[in-house]
Structure 1
Amino acid sequence: MDVDISRLRLLIQTLDQWAGDPAITDRVLTACSLNRTDAAPPAQSYSAHREALFVRYACDAVEDITFGARAGLGFRTTSSITAYISKYSRDLRQVMENTTRFHRIIDPALAGKLRVSGNVASFELNWKDPSYSRYHRRTEFLLFAVIARLRALTGVKLHPIEIRFQHEIGQHARDYEKISGFPVTFGAERLEVLLPLSALDLQIPTYDPSLREHLLEYGERLLAERRLPKERTRAKVEGLITRSMPGKVVQADEAARELGLSLRTLARRLADEGTSYREIVEDLRCDLAQTFLKNGMAMSEISYSLGYADQAAFSTAFKRWTGQAPSTFRDRVEHPIYSS
């Protein structure tokens, strides 16, 4: 699954400036199986998974989990078809409607939807590939990038009513409001950007109806030619597990019923993909546990979120996954991992 290369270029530039040492960026790129040549022209796209890893490792490298959000706020230009359609749209309403229609061309893992209720407009994002929902730092990068793009298109420093994330962030919630200047909520029911209804009437200075119509026709052809990627059974299972949290991890038999499968068929399909239900649960718990520890969440809160009966059970599992106690891991990640 690939995404627009302009995002990688922005991330590289931001990390270069932040770290003050290109070698640090090079080490982060290497950890993601990337290099600077991968971002150079004529490259147009790269792996969404590697993007997620880059944002994660960059946060570790600069010891600041807001790196992705800050980088997103610096997002201005992109060469994607949706960007050009937006550039020549009449107003922000058309931009949001077009993005809803064509977003899967630039990011097949997400689907957007514009909802209007009362005096509030909501741009809601839903995971088409739930396996990407675990990458919290990338999710923050994407939503803050939405705000930056809307500002760039309108020429107005638009302030949303609120941005809402589904994941928890622990003690760092205020850091995001400080860098953005608007309310940011974590642990919300939906992943969305809330705007005042009046914002939809903001005009786009580069509006060109004829160019827009031509690009819309081209966008429709791309949609017709591009098949939706077949969702893996693992991704579906990860989505079910993630939605069952916090406080519970859905069991395999219940997941099978949700997917309309027998337990045996679910196990067979996962085996065909080289995994098992238990392996998926363990992998997801391990990955999220490390993210939560970096977030500064309390150990008791992490234990509950991941569905453990108590903190001791979580600590035992974490030692099995990583070979170290959660407290030891937290102490280690306080030091930059790519500084030498």
Structure 2
Amino acid sequence: MPDTTDQVLQKSGLSRIQISAPATSYSAHQEALFVRHACDALQNITFAAQAGLGFDVSSSVTAYISKYSRDLRQALENTCYFNWMIDPALSFALRSTGNAAVFEVDWKDPSFRRYHRRTEFLMFAAIARMRNLTQTDLHPLEIRFEHEVGQQAQAYEKIGGFPVTFGAERMEIILSLPSLDTPIPTYEPSLRAHLLEYGERLLAERRSPQQQMRAKVEGLITQSMPGTIIHADDAAAQLGLSPRTLARRLAEEDTTYREIVEDLRCDLAQTFIKNGMALSEIAFSLGYSDQAAFSTAFKRWTGQAPTAFRKRVEHPLNTD
């Protein structure tokens, strides 16, 4: 029998060879699935956040630019500028308010919005990276996530030792203004200048990947939540397409608008249940008129009622 790691890898479409150094052949979606299934296997949705906070190794160009930057502000500004080299799903921006600094995280590819555990890993890993760079026990004023985790929020605060808010309008890391001036002990201006020049060359050679129509549609659907699922005709209008053209583009990717909606609802429903959300809240979030309609759909997707699924998730060894 394969061990837990092999089972998680198999569910994620990965193998041990793919994740062995130098690991360059796995996709961001496979990474997201691996984080999700790892949390499921451990029956601990906070595992991704814990792993992120323990993250201390990065060998990318942007990581080295940050390592040789003057202070945390300069490192974060470089991260925002070269964000396309860091993560295919996210973009970053740094702004200052009257009494705080806000490191904003937004979606370049909204289809990743469904992967809550990967998002948590990356946000907590960002804090770990700031701590590693400055060699201090830096604590943000707050981290904010868009998704909900029900009664689990306090567990995340315990892990981080700082306020963690779920159900926020944006993903953000709130920092004190003085923390931006925290010096980076490994600052080396000549090396930084060389790496910046190299990064600029990579930027000039960059070709933006063509986002699939499915990813664009998923983005519009998730943005319309909670409480509403955007209609196909409205989605087409927002994409600058006719309904017929949208349907044809999706058919070229072997899917339909309805299939995308159903797949996204099914996927998010299971995640929301694992997050500990009430079934009535899940039904509303996914755009159902009532809990009964949601329960009927969930049983059609999975072959079991959402209450049975929740019981299995909470008591996986119970065979009754």
Query: TM-score normalised to the size of structure 2?
Result: 0.96
Where does residue 111 of structure 1 map in the other structure? 91
2:173 aligned to which of 184, 193, 207:
193
| Contact preservation (8 Å) 1:171, 1:296 | yes
Q: Give 2:243's aligned amino acid.
A: L
Q: For 1:187 and 1:142, how far apart are their aligned partners in 2?
A: 17
Equivalent residue for 2:32? 52
Q: Are 2:12 and 1:32 equivalent residues in the alignment?
A: yes
Match of 1:224 in 2: 204
2:102 alignment partner in structure 1: 122
Q: Tell me the number of residue pairs that the alignment of Structure 1 and Structure 2 aligns.
A: 316
Q: CA deviation at 1:36?
A: 2.4
Query: In structure 2, what is the Cα distance between the partners aligned to 1:120 and 1:39?
Result: 39
The answer as to 2:205 corresponding to 1:256 is: no
Does residue 311 of structure 2 align to residue 331 of structure 1? yes
Out of 85-94 and 44-53, give the one that drifted further: 44-53
Between 293-302 and 221-230, the greater mean CA deviation after superposition = 221-230
Corresponding residue for 1:151? 131
Query: How many Å separate the matches in 2 of 1:333 and 1:263?
Result: 39
RMSD: 1.3
Q: 2:153 aligns with which of 139, 160, 173?
A: 173
| Matched AA of 1:175 | A
Unpaired runs of at least 5, structure 1: 1-21
Match of 2:74 in 1: 94
More displaced 10-residue stretch of structure 1: 24-33 or 126-135: 24-33
Find the residue that maps to 1:46 and give its secondary structure. coil
Structure 2 letter corresponding to 1:96: L
Instruction: Quote how far apart the aligned CAs of 1:226 are.
Output: 2.2
Task: Identify which of 267, 287, 290 aligns with 2:247.
Answer: 267
SS in 2 for 1:124: strand
Matched, 1:303 2:307: no
Runs of 4+ in 1 over 3 A off after TM superposition: none
Structure 1 distance, partners of 2:237, 2:6, is 46
SS state of the match for residue 3, structure 2? helix
**SS at the partner of 2:59?**
coil
- Alpha-carbon deviation of 1:24? 1.5
Q: Please report the TM-score for the alignment, with normalisation by the length of structure 1.
A: 0.91
Structure-2 separation of matches of 1:42 and 1:321: 38
Percentage of matched positions with identical amino acids:
71
Q: Distance in 2 between matches of 1:321 and 1:155?
A: 48
1:221 alignment partner AA: R
Q: Distance in 1 between matches of 2:316 and 2:72?
A: 41
Aligned to 2:65: 85
Return the alpha-carbon distance in structure 2 between the equivalents of residues 43 and 59 of structure 1.
22
Query: What is the aligned partner in structure 1 of residue 187 from structure 2?
Result: 207
Aligned partners of 1:164 and 1:184 also within 8 Å? yes
How far did 1:125 drift? 1.0
1:66 counterpart letter in structure 2: T
Whole-angstrom distance in 2 between the partners of 1:46 and 1:157:
32
Q: Is the 8 A contact 1:60 1:336 kept in 2?
A: no
Q: Which residue pairs with 1:13 in the alignment?
A: none
Deviates more, 1:286-295 or 1:30-39: 30-39
> How big is each residue's C-alpha offset from its partner over 1:257-284, in whole Å with a ceiling of 9 and x where there is no partner?
1111111111111111111111111010
Match of 1:183 in 2: 163
Q: 1:100, 1:112 within 8 Å by CA — same for their partners in 2?
A: yes
- Given candidates 224, 227, 240, the residue that maps to 1:247 is 227
Question: Secondary structure in 1 aligned to 2:82?
Answer: helix
CA distance in 1, matches of 2:265, 2:257: 12
Does the CA-based 8 Å contact 1:85-1:98 persist in structure 2?
Answer: yes
CA distance in 1, matches of 2:236, 2:11: 35
* Distance in 2 of aligned mates of 1:268 and 1:31: 31
Of 170-179 and 145-154, deviating more is 170-179
Report the Cα offset of residue 188 of structure 1. Answer: 0.5
